[in-house]
């Protein structure tokens, strides 16, 4: 579940020029797009994966201005499905409101046998003149979907249906 934040909010430089902590995988998912995202903690991992997802749709994600915000709150019995749900949220807003969102301030807490994610989505409506389009993402798939910690680094592997 997400809420609308009224008024505009500027993306801070850290988000806009965030180092790319993801790479696209060329040898799996022939018809679609696979990526691997990394992060030192879950906040970084989730924001990297969100960027990877947006970057499939928009070539120049740094051109997305922070004009609108959405509060994002998600709950799941499994922590990896929180990532699934977060990426689905980005896809949802792209279709429902033509809103391109970048994610920041992810916090994940655990309680009562389930996991709760809170984050902010900051962005603006798609402008074909400024935002270079790539491929429209239809869905996050569960194929090879994986979130794990390896040698102190969090990694996620995701295949997006385009």
Partner 1 sequence: MAKPAALQRVSEAVWELPASFKPGMRVPARIYGTEKLIGEMDDAVYDQVTNVATLPGIVKYALCMPDGHFGYGFPIGGVAAMDAEEGGVISPGGIGFDINCGMRLVRTNLTYDEVRPRLRELTDKLFAAVPAGVGSTGFLKLSRKEFRKVVEEGSRWCIARGYGWNEDLDLTEDNGCTPGADSAAVSERAVDRGFNQIGTLGSGNHYLEIQVVHDANIFDRRLAEEFGLADGRIVVMYHCGSRGFGHQVATDYLRLFLSVMESKYHIRILDRELACAPLDSPEGRDYFAAMKCALNMSFANRQMILHRIREVFSDVFGQPAERLAIHMVYDIAHNTAKLERHLVDGREKNLLVHRKGATRAFAPDMVGLPDRYKKIGQPVIIGGSMETGSYLLVGTEGGRETFFSTPHGSGRTMSRTKARKLWHGKELQRQMEERGIYVRTASLSGLAEEAGGAYKNIDEVVGASDLAGISRRVARLVPIGNVKG
Query: Considering the rule CB under 8 A, would residue 134 count as an interface residue with partner 1?
Result: yes
Query: Considering the rule CB under 8 A, would residue 142 count as an interface residue with partner 1?
Result: yes
- Contact pattern for partner 1 over residues 8 through 27, marking x by CB under 8 A: ----------------xxxx
CA distance 50 to 144: 17
Q: Are 102 and 54 in contact (CB under 8 A)?
A: yes
Supply the minimum distance, in Å, between the C-beta of residue 41 and partner 1. Answer: 26
Residues 27-46 that bind partner 1 (CB under 8 A): 27-34
Query: Considering the rule CB under 8 A, would residue 87 count as an interface residue with partner 1?
Result: no
Q: Could you write out the DSSP letters of every residue in 110-152?
A: EETTEEEEEEEEEEEE--TTTSPB-----EE--TT-EEEEETT
Supply the minimum distance, in Å, between the C-beta of residue 153 and partner 1. Answer: 22
Query: Considering the rule CB under 8 A, would residue 148 count as an interface residue with partner 1?
Result: no
Supply the minimum distance, in Å, between the C-beta of residue 85 and partner 1. Answer: 9
Give the pairing type, strands 68-76 and 139-140.
unpaired
């Amino acid at each position: 579940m997400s809420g609308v934040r009224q008024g505009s909010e500027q993306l801070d430089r850290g988000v806009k020029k965030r180092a790319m902590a993801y790479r696209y995988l060329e040898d799996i998912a022939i018809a679609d797009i696979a990526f691997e995202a990394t992060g030192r903690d879950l906040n970084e991992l989730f924001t990297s994966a969100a960027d990877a997802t947006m970057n499939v749709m928009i070539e120049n994600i740094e051109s997305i201005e922070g004009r609108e915000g959405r509060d994002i709150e998600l709950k799941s019995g499994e922590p990896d499905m929180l990532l699934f749900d977060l990426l689905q949220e980005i896809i949802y807003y792209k279709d429902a409101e033509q809103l391109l969102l970048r994610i920041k301030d992810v916090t994940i807490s655990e309680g009562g046998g389930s996991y709760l994610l809170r984050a902010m989505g900051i962005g603006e409506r798609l402008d074909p003149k400024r935002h270079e389009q790539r491929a429209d993402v239809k869905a996050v798939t569960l194929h090879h979907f994986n979130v794990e910690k390896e040698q102190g680094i969090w990694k996620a592997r995701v295949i997006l249906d385009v």
